[in-house]
Structure 1
Amino acid sequence: MATGFYTHPDCVLHEMGEWHPECPARLQAIEDQLIAGRIDGLLERREAPLVAEADILRAHTAAHWDFLSANAPKSGYFAIDGDTVLNSHSLTAARRAAGAAVAATDAVLAGELENAFCSIRPPGHHATPGTAMGFCLLNNIAVAVRHALDVHGLQRVAIVDFDVHHGNGTEAAFAGESRVLMCSIFQHPFYPYSGTENPAPNMVNVPVPARTGGLEVREMIDLTWLPRLEEFKPQMIFISAGFDAHRDDDLGGLALTEADFSWITAQVKAVAQRHAHGRIVSCLEGGYNLSALGRSVVAHLRVLADL
């Protein structure tokens, strides 16, 4: 079976100002590296649909969706906070991003695809059930996981998050949810300054200091994530794939390389093959050095697609 690649031109139309690092060029950088890496034609491309409101409301409060809808500008910008901004295309882009995650979930569970990567923006893992923050409007992973649990009836779903920032929104959505195991590694202390205070038993949080490199990260994953994932035996794995932990990314302070992202992906894929029929849906989160982002996504996809 193939690896799916979900994206949509609407995701490029969302922009938060020329100064903003979470920019439309991120998706073009990925496309450029797919071509340079000669894997563009080896993935099954699919267009991201608009997510249904019912799927949004499984992961977010109605008040949150109403707030976004009421404040989406017809032109110009609406600032939710200092670094999270709406333009006239933002809600459509957010619905495409979450829709990609849900469609990929459906396709993988139907056996149409072995796994899938969603090249989408805005990212999602900082969006809590009731708040947009940290560049994120809807929590794409949370929406997809709720869909897998509540629509498809899965009983054991794992989330892996290797973004340089803690996925506080995803943790808020699933802390204490016995059907979900979340494993994350993130720089600390660092935005959003969370993930270290009494995490719920289903949260495997691994905070690491700035300048931590790949060898240390691999050892920590070996010691913390992998035993818990083996014990949990997930029926499906979702990845919050943030590549801002790359050593070339100035928005973070970790020192990972493409080889480290390949290794992490391989470990997660091996767990999925043992317990989940290989079922993985990965969604783009951070990654702001354009060259490093594109190269890292290609490394991630080469492992997912056995290329």
Structure 2
Amino acid sequence: MTGLFMHDDCLNHITPEGHAEQVARMTSVSAALEPVSGLDRREAPLCEEADILLCHPEGYLAKIRDGKPAQLDEDTWQSEGSYQAARRAVGGALAAVDAVLAGEMKNAFVACRPPGHHAETAKPMGFCLFGTAAIAAKHALERHGLSRVAVVDFDVHHGNGTQDLLWDEPRAFLATSQQFPLWPGTGAADVKGGHDNVLNVPLAPKTTGAEMREAYEAQVFPRLEAFAPELILISAGFDAHRADPLAQLEWETEDFMWLTERLCGVAETVCGGRVVSLLEGGYDLDALGESAAAHVRALQAA
């Protein structure tokens, strides 16, 4: 069975009117997933501060925890409810890892916000406060004793935060595809991590779904299979959709379904199908909801 982790606290992370990472993203995903039957629906729990400290230093945690509503950088905001929402996002990710590794569900999707893959070790950025995917990877390695965990990030923007947080972790492999050039300006193919544990797959503007499929078949899936992770985490950003206003890739909803199916197929081969997917970007509300629903249905079919 596929698990779905959500929480209404994620509606309380408030950004200014007109901001791309808005509350309506959550309501759009929730509405799209409401008619999907057969899901093990659970509330995302609050993570503990010790969980965040798996990747971030105490001083950084204190700044986010104790911070007043403010603009943290050019596009990252914190409101009264942001810290609680971010703790739900991390808590949902860790609970999903726990449930999948315990065999309670085969795979899971964590539909929470704010997203996480741009948050660096001591720097919020790109709408993100905590490195949710990297924390989930560390949780699986340190608390569950796994030897190898992979993160696959198909958000249109480079997962610079995940790369930063896992750079020196030889037990973690990160494969990330992104439009290049595009904000945040990182993600070149010659950047490989501290232990050759990072695979960056830059995609030119206007890259189609067919071209993406070729890139994944040629580069990502062989490396993923060779690494043989015991768990695959997905940073599932749906902003590579051709309708998205913040980028210029030309994927269709069917491409996200194909990519999910193929990742689940690799997972079936190397780790008994154990996959935990985390919501990242996606800023056209209709495309976001449709793509998230397609993603979840592909997880269910695995």
TM > 0.5 fold call: yes
1:207 paired with 2:199, answer: no
Q: 1:285 aligns with which of 280, 283, 286?
A: 280
Note if contact 2:191-2:200 (Cα within 8 Å) is conserved in structure 1: no
Aligned pairs (5 A) from 1:149-228:
149-196=141-188, 198-200=191-193, 201-228=196-223
Give the Cα–Cα distance (whole angstroms) in 2 for the partners of residues 70 and 142 of structure 1. Answer: 23
1:125 paired with 2:104, answer: no
Give the Cα–Cα distance (whole angstroms) in 1 for the partners of residues 223 and 119 of structure 2. Answer: 25
Deviations 1:177-205 (A, max 9, x none): 21111111100111110121532211111
Give the Cα–Cα distance (whole angstroms) in 1 for the partners of residues 268 and 203 of structure 2. Answer: 28
Deviations 1:119-156 (A, max 9, x none): 00000000011111000001111111110000001011
- Tell me by how many angstroms 1:30 deviates: 1.2
1:263 paired with 2:262, answer: no
- 1:64 is aligned to 60
Q: 2:71 aligns with which of 58, 70, 79?
A: 79
TM-score, length of structure 2 as denominator length: 0.97
Task: Name the SS of the counterpart of 1:128 in structure 2.
Answer: coil
TM-score, length of structure 1 as denominator length: 0.95
1:7 paired with 2:6, answer: yes
Deviations 1:98-137 (A, max 9, x none): 0000000001001101000000000000001111100000
Aligned pairs (5 A) from 1:93-108:
93-108=85-100
- Partner AA of 1:123 in structure 2: P
Give the Cα–Cα distance (whole angstroms) in 1 for the partners of residues 76 and 206 of structure 2. Answer: 27
Structure 1 gaps, min length 5: none
- Tell me by how many angstroms 1:34 deviates: 2.1
Note if contact 2:191-2:198 (Cα within 8 Å) is conserved in structure 1: no
Note if contact 2:153-2:234 (Cα within 8 Å) is conserved in structure 1: yes
- 1:44 is aligned to 40
Task: Name the SS of the counterpart of 2:41 in structure 1.
Answer: strand
Note if contact 2:5-2:42 (Cα within 8 Å) is conserved in structure 1: yes
Task: Name the SS of the counterpart of 1:224 in structure 2.
Answer: helix
Structure 2 gaps, min length 5: none
1:273 paired with 2:272, answer: no
Task: Name the SS of the counterpart of 2:72 in structure 1.
Answer: strand
- 2:105 is aligned to 113
Give the Cα–Cα distance (whole angstroms) in 1 for the partners of residues 176 and 43 of structure 2. Answer: 29
- 2:127 is aligned to 135
Note if contact 2:233-2:276 (Cα within 8 Å) is conserved in structure 1: yes
- Partner AA of 1:88 in structure 2: E
- Tell me by how many angstroms 1:63 deviates: 1.5
Give the Cα–Cα distance (whole angstroms) in 1 for the partners of residues 218 and 191 of structure 2. Answer: 20
- 1:241 is aligned to 236
- Tell me by how many angstroms 1:70 deviates: 2.5
